């Protein structure tokens, strides 16, 4: 069994809950290497996604991703809004109007999301950004997809993203606000990598 629109709605709902629950943590992470707004931005964005989902319920997982993209682009602002917006838009385009998303299509959508983030932000692995969560996640997802189990794909992605977020601690930031700090960015975890891991963990949690 693949994933459907109800999974997508559960995913977005769990993501919104995670952004609300971890709002202060994301704000605190953004304080030393940014401007202390990441938790605020993400919580506001996903609250707006919940409103949109209720107003115009999507008919496919892909449509849910596109609605999320539009909402995050207009409500999140800063660096993260356009980056997550592009990620969800590319994922939605990759899924199209498929009603039953299998493991291969899921891994392909995650890859498309990561490629969208890279196309938009031009960060490479090791630059201390959300890409350092997404790239290990899509690699793990691709490996897990070979067995054809959507839950395994998302669990692998979430676990790799969490490790990827931790891996940003010793990195020197080369993109975004944190890059203004140069060497002083070392020793802090990237907030966008942490929010990315939370969103991917929510995706796994949404599988029934
Ligand atoms: P802002 O920095 O504008 O206040 P946020 O605080 O909401 O925006 O988001 C910051 C996060 O955005 C960073 O932690 C990082 O993960 C991500 N980010 C910033 N610039 C880039 C980039 N060029 N490529 C990928 N991710 C980026
Ligand atoms: Mg910020
Ligand atoms: Mg900001």
- pLDDT per position as a tens digit, 146-160: 999 999 999 999 999
Q: Give the pLDDT of the chain (208 residues) as one tens digit per residue.
A: 789 999 999 999 999 999 999 999 999 999 999 999 999 999 999 999 999 999 999 999 999 999 999 999 999 989 999 999 999 999 999 999 999 999 999 999 999 999 999 999 999 999 999 999 999 999 999 999 999 999 999 999 999 999 999 999 999 999 999 999 999 999 999 999 999 999 999 999 999 9
Q: What is the ipTM of this complex?
A: 0.99
Note whether 131 and 121 are within 8 A (CB).
yes
Total-model pTM: 0.98
Residue 66: which domain range? 5-205
Minimum CA distance residue for ligand 1 atom 7: 38
- pLDDT per position as a tens digit, 58-76: 999 999 999 999 999 999 9
Q: What CATH number did the domain enclosing 18 receive?
A: 1.25.40.340
Gap from CA of 83 to ligand 1 centroid (Å): 8
- Gap between the Cα atoms of 168 and 132, Å rounded: 7
CA angle (189 as vertex; 197, 83 as ends), nearest 5: 55
Gap from CA of 75 to ligand 1 centroid (Å): 15
Q: Is 80 in the pocket of ligand 1 (CB under 6 A)?
A: yes
Which residues are in the CB-under-5-Å shell of ion ligand 2? 30, 34-35, 37-38
Sign of the alpha-carbon dihedral angle for 175, 177, 178, 181: positive
Q: In the chain, where do the E strands start and end?
A: none
Domain count, the chain: 1
Gap from CA of 177 to ligand 2 centroid (Å): 7
Q: Is 192 in the pocket of ligand 1 (CB under 6 A)?
A: yes
């Amino acid at each position: 069994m693949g994933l459907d629109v109800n999974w997508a709605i559960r995913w977005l709902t769990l993501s919104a809950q995670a952004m609300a629950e971890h709002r202060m943590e994301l704000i605190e992470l953004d304080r030393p290497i940014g401007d202390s707004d990441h938790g605020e931005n993400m919580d506001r964005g996903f609250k707006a996604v919940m409103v949109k989902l209720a107003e115009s319920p999507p008919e496919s997982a892909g449509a849910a991703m596109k609605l999320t993209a539009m909402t995050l682009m207009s409500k999140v602002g800063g660096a993260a809004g356009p980056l997550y917006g592009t990620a969800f838009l590319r994922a939605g385009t990759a899924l199209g109007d498929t009603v039953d998303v299998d493991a291969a299509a899921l891994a392909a959508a995650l890859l498309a999301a990561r490629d969208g983030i890279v196309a938009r932000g031009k960060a490479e692995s090791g630059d201390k950004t959300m890409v350092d969560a997404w790239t290990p996640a899509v690699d793990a997802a691709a490996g897990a997809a070979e067995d054809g189990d959507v839950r395994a794909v998302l669990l692998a992605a979430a676990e790799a993203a969490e490790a990827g977020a931790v891996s940003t601690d010793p990195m020197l930031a080369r993109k975004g606000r944190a890059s203004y700090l140069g060497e002083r960015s070392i020793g802090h975890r990237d907030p966008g990598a942490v929010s990315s891991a939370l969103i991917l963990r929510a995706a796994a949690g949404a599988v029934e």
